[in-house]
Every structure is written in C-alpha cells, then in structure tokens.
Amino acid sequence: MNHYALVPAAGGGARMGAEVPKQYLPLLGRPLIWHTLAALCAVPALARVFVVLSADDVQWDRFDWSAFGGRVEVLRCGGATRADSVTNGLRSLSRRVGADDWMLVHDAARACLTRDHVEALMREVGDDAVGGILAVPVADTLKRAEGATVAGARSEATVPRERLWQAQTPQMFRHALLLDALERAPAVTDEASAVEALGLRPRLVAADATNLKVTYPLDLHLAEIILRDREQKT
C-alpha cells in the first residue's frame, strides 16, 4: 500500500476578511500553503502530494513551487465545499491509486504541521482496518450557547469535556473507503465524520496545539510565531 496526501485548497477563507484566499496569504515571505506543502513533502513515505484547486484559481501560478521537486501535483477539480473538493479529488485519482492505498487529507490552512506529526499518525494507524486522525483532547471548559449567533450570546449549559477531542488533520483513510463514505455523507465537515456515518470508529492519534488551523487573522500571527520559533531552534 502507498501513502498519498490530498490537500483541498479551493476555498476562499471568508472568515479571514482578506482579498485573496487565505491559503495564499503571506506567511514568513511565502504563501501560507507553501509551508503546509513543505511539511508534507518532508515525509519520505508520502509518494505524492495532491493539491485540489478550483478550476478558476488564478493565484497558484503566481508562485514558485520548484522547491518541492515535482512531488506536488495540482488537481483543478475543487468544489463548493471542502467535502466536495476532497470527493472530487478522490474520484479523479481512482484510476491512479489503489483501493487500499492510504489518503492523508490535510487542511491547506494548517501550515504548522510537522514531519513528526505526519509520521506519528502513519505509525500509530499502521494497518488499522478503519484509519485514523490527528486530534487533541479538549482541555478547556466547554459552553453551549442558547443561540446560533456570536454577538450577544449567552451560555445555556456546560458540556462535559471528558472523552472529547478536537479533530485536526491529516485524516488518514483508505481511498475506496473514504470515497464511499463521502459519497454517502456529502454534508460532513471532515472525513472522519463521513467514516463514522458508516458505523466505523477512526483511531484518535494525539497531536498538539501547534498544528492549528488558520481561520481568523490572529491565527496567522500565531502561525508565524510557531514557525519562527522552530527556525530559531534548528
């Protein structure tokens, strides 16, 4: 079995409030997604890294990706949602990868991923019958709001945090299983949810908070701090 990475990057990142999709926002002099791809390409066991873009993406060709030595391949089949992009990417690869090959789906906006994160996931999932994801046990007290809006929200109840984990990526499942799961449950927000809808239980592999997803402007500053700190330690 081979291992491949699939990075959905067709979204616009509206919550960042930027003029360009957040995957192309500058981070330490390079587009944010460059750091994401660099981490994945640093993993020798990954045979290839596929990036799913929208058909009308005009940003990608404005940057130099030669540092990845041809290990990154673009698939211009992105959809309206993250799940659509992943599903389209998996479909486009159906004749190129095996049904039992592993697909590691990773958020383009998780630029602080490390080789150690990926290899820990691959090692602990191993030959698991289902697959698994990186995640972090919830440490904070959780509140359920009485309404769906953020402004003026009030706490309705405290949610017990025991046994709760915060899902991260990569999420690692076999190609055929994951494609089947997403086609059956297209409205999910992550791959594990689709697999769970089949009645299966993905393995949880403990990661850490540095593998954060850049969603809001402050997150971009946090990512810069994390990456600069790593640079200083090497």
So what's the pLDDT on residue 35?
A: 98
So what's the pLDDT on residue 13?
A: 58
| Number of neighbours of residue 60 by Cβ within 10 angstroms | 18
- Parts of the chain with a pLDDT under 50: none
- Cα 83 to Cα 187: distance, rounded to the nearest angstrom: 7
Contact 47, 3 (CB under 8 A): yes
- Cα 63 to Cα 51: distance, rounded to the nearest angstrom: 14
Residue 190 corresponds to which tokens in the numbers above?
A: 């992550």
Alpha-carbon separation of residue 171 from 27, 142, 202 (angstroms): 24, 24, 9
Residue 18 corresponds to which tokens in the numbers above?
A: 């930027």
Residue 178 corresponds to which tokens in the numbers above?
A: 């994951």
Domain boundaries of the chain, sorted by first residue? 3-233
* DSSP β-ladder status, 30-31 and 142-145: unpaired
- Cα 122 to Cα 164: distance, rounded to the nearest angstrom: 22
Fold for the domain defined by 3-233: Spore Coat Polysaccharide Biosynthesis Protein SpsA; Chain A (3.90.550)
Contacts of 216 (CB under 8 A, 6+ apart): 15, 16
- Cα 27 to Cα 36: distance, rounded to the nearest angstrom: 11
- Cα 170 to Cα 104: distance, rounded to the nearest angstrom: 5
* DSSP β-ladder status, 26-27 and 30-31: antiparallel
Please write the tens of the pLDDT for every residue from 182-196.
999 999 999 999 999
As a three-state string, the secondary structure of 71-124 is CEEEECCCCCCHHHHHHHHHHHCCCCCCCCCEEEECCCCCCCCCHHHHHHHHHH
Which residues are bridge partners to 166 per DSSP?
A: 136
Contact 37, 110 (CB under 8 A): no
Alpha-carbon separation of residue 86 from 167, 169, 180, 220 (angstroms): 17, 13, 12, 24
Contact 211, 168 (CB under 8 A): yes
Contact 78, 87 (CB under 8 A): no
